[in-house]
Structure 1
């Protein structure tokens, strides 16, 4: 039986509210249209109060996920049957020259354990980003690196080029040279060439078209051209590196990706879903050496549980054709976070794979610290800190039709690993990971990782 108070509260949340105004504060550089694009409601609409409160929180998360703001707050004031919405934002430091100091290897653990933490394998340089050049969320990026892998990249990206804010365009050019790089995978680990001579040169260009036809639906078409040349010492170690193409290979890349993204926070999500599916074709009409097709899909689910507990599952799968491929195009487990934890030191080549990663998390701390007394620069004086403890279990399988090329013992069998860990998420899109992982053979080790979203 409902009390009169409960009935009154229910009626309050069910009543229709007219959105009389939406006010924006703090977007000193960002155009208002970029922010309105992220709202799931508009001025002049009427919504039940409970629905409007829910959509306002979802819209606040959408604005934060544009990566244009350090913090976003949303307030709803009601007067009679009208709603007045205020969204307050603190903008990032958009022009951000970053000194670059990171490792040439695929992960910190690869460098620390497999490469004996050799300081010669450090890349240094400068990355200059302007992540809101005209106030439209457009990004101008200049990368120039020295050290282990000299590299240059210049790119520009504009999220919306049409009045309806549905279509975006980006493009760029790149150039790099390397002395040492993996020329094959052997016994499920990367095998590097050891030389003081420049052994590989890469250059190319790309253009990318983006379509956002609904609030959480994204489509991308990518066209690229790459020209790569290697020294004869590379092909002597691995004749399958470029195969019959010898020491020089040119090819085009066509890629289509679809993404449905409804996560609460794209840096460290705790609630929501992400689905990706893609098709990639490598080749050119004039190229006989490269004619490859790769299909991939992934689903990430994040689930709040009771209290401070959260669960997560990540499922990935890949199919690639034909069964025999040149070495640079073989993409198996061990890259881009596609790995069975417990096998962090391994790269397992193959054409098809399936992977499931599961996590149970406990939130130890989630707080934003105001340090304006010590640091007046507003883009840095709010420091969000999230600390989470984790237990995890992963399982995966990779199909390798040519294990003799890598002398693999881990492909074509079911793998699993488990462990415990801690995550630290903080400002400017940085997440630190510390894991203690064990695989099915009993091999165990502590692993450390850093993820940056630039």
Structure 2
């Protein structure tokens, strides 16, 4: 395992370092073909404040841009505007030439920012688990209403709310304001939620979740979180959060698994303080094909008397994307986590198989543990790239972009667990691979069809509705 981690680390360091070395290049010493940016003009924004758009642009008044790199500079700025998720499209141009001075002009097409729509969401970890193992049971579906207003005041702030019933009864309300200062660096946010369930995953056995259900509510959860963010540059954001969490279960759960909350407890409360850093420099933040991404986190759960859970956690996620040839792209990524101490109750040992932390081909399994790593590699080839004109809908939303990419992939991972319950996948190296199709559209939509095989010899077709890495 150490050798695999060592080799993976070398590859990731090289992949992140080489692009940086390649970019250390200045303009030719004798290159006098340049322009000086006189003004940066923004057009087309009705809701979004111009100051918010200017904050995202790498082009400023007074900048000198050499003509040999003008196209690349404007395209990079245009893509940065699209990465804000505020706009359906954007154009960049140079106008009003006077000698060596000119204006940089950016035109944007704003999205539809207000949404309210019904929720029909599976309670299970993925579509296949619900379809195959849970027999497509409608009792395991959450229905309700979700509403969110993006760009509420034109400052890229958003307020959102969920009300769901069904498998989980939940209420959630949150607000995020990315900039509270005149220099557009500091932001604040909050989220509050309450949920309760009549069914609970009380233990894992043989790497399968075991569920228990009754008419009374078995579990109740409450969360209140406050977040502070700092973003000096365009590509890097720092975040500090303080979250108060409570969870309670009834006697039946404690009888089935006294270690669910630990030591036969029926309820716990704890504070968690976390620091996160996110860096992304890519052609697209929603479906990247060229560039790099790095996320790091260190958190402490259990502060003072609020120490129902007590651990220190380190987590990293790093991906390198690059273009191998025209319309052909590669990606290498790693996800890793280490939690101390390694003695945690059942709710504190979720490792692989939950959320985005899984190997493609092992969707039917969970691998519990306190520490793990996942290494993913993907090769993509664009097959189709076209637009569909939709009738009836407003003109600026009527052109629906569609991209279809074929891919081949291979994953490997390892999860460490101090205690296992018949776990055949714990504390051993795991391997999977497969082929598939990604269908990508706007509003950050990605539908994945994947045919995978794992080291157990199991094969299957899997459906996902989110980017894999």
* TM-score in terms of structure 1 length: 0.93
Aligned to 2:25: none
Q: Tell me how far apart the structure 1 counterparts of residues 380 and 361 of structure 2 sit (CA, whole Å).
A: 18
CA distance in 1, matches of 2:248, 2:356: 28
Deviation digits for residues 404-452 of structure 1 (CA, Å, limit 9, x no counterpart): xx32110111110110000111122211010000011211000001129
**Secondary structure, aligned partner of 1:162:** coil
Matched, 1:423 2:438: yes
Within the alignment, does 1:399 sit opposite 2:416 as a pair? yes
- How far residue 34 of structure 1 moved from its aligned partner, in angstroms, is 0.8
Shift of 1:308: 1.3
Cα distance, 1:287 vs. partner? 4.2
* Deviation digits for residues 55-103 of structure 1 (CA, Å, limit 9, x no counterpart): 2222211111111111122223473422322212111111111211110
Q: Which of the residues 214, 219, 224 maps onto 2:238?
A: 219
Matches within 5 A, 1:189-228: 189-228=208-247
* Structure 1 Cα separation of the partners of residues 141 and 196 of structure 2: 14
For residue 18 of structure 1, what is the aligned residue in structure 2? 36
Note if contact 2:269-2:307 (Cα within 8 Å) is conserved in structure 1.
no
Question: 1:380 Cα shift?
Answer: 2.4
Q: Against the structure 1 CA distance between its residues 49 and 369, is the aligned structure 2 distance closer, same or farther, given a 3 Å change threshold?
A: farther
Q: Does 1:74 align with 2:92?
A: yes
Indicate how the Cα distance of structure 1 residues 200 and 452 shifts in structure 2: closer, same or farther if over 3 A, else same: farther
| CA distance 1:45–1:112, shift in 2 (3 Å) | same
Distance 1:344 1:27, change over 3 A: same
Larger mean Cα displacement after TM superposition, 206-215 or 67-76: 67-76
CA distance in 2, matches of 1:341, 1:216: 29
Q: Could you tell me how far apart the structure 2 residues matched to 1:278 and 1:379 are?
A: 39
- Give the direction of change, closer, same or farther, for the CA distance of 1:378–1:235 in structure 2 (3 Å limit): farther
Answer yes or no: is 1:32 the counterpart of 2:55: no
The alpha carbon displacement at 1:298 in A equals 1.4
Measure, in 2, the Cα distance between the counterparts of 1:71 and 1:288: 48
> Structure 1: any 5+ residue segments left out of the alignment?
1-9
Residue 52 of structure 1 and its aligned partner are, at CA, apart by 3.6
* Corresponding residue number in structure 1 for 2:352: 333
Q: Which runs of 5+ in 2 are unaligned?
A: 1-27
Contact 1:429 1:452 in 2 (8 A): no
Aligned partner of residue 74 in structure 1, secondary structure: strand
- In the other structure, the counterpart of 2:111 is 92
What's the C-alpha RMSD, in Å, of the aligned pairs?
1.9
Give the secondary structure class of the aligned counterpart of 2:74. Answer: helix
Against the structure 1 CA distance between its residues 257 and 217, is the aligned structure 2 distance closer, same or farther, given a 3 Å change threshold? same
Aligned twin of 1:7 = none
| Residues 279 and 295 in structure 2, CA contact (< 8 A), matched pair in contact too | yes
* 8 Å contact from structure 1 (residues 93, 379) kept in 2: no
Question: Conserved in 2, the CA contact under 8 Å of 1:276 and 1:298?
Answer: yes
Distance in 1 between residues matched to 2:30 and 2:286, nearest whole Å: 35
* 2:166 is the alignment partner of 1:147: yes
What secondary structure does 2:69 align onto?
helix
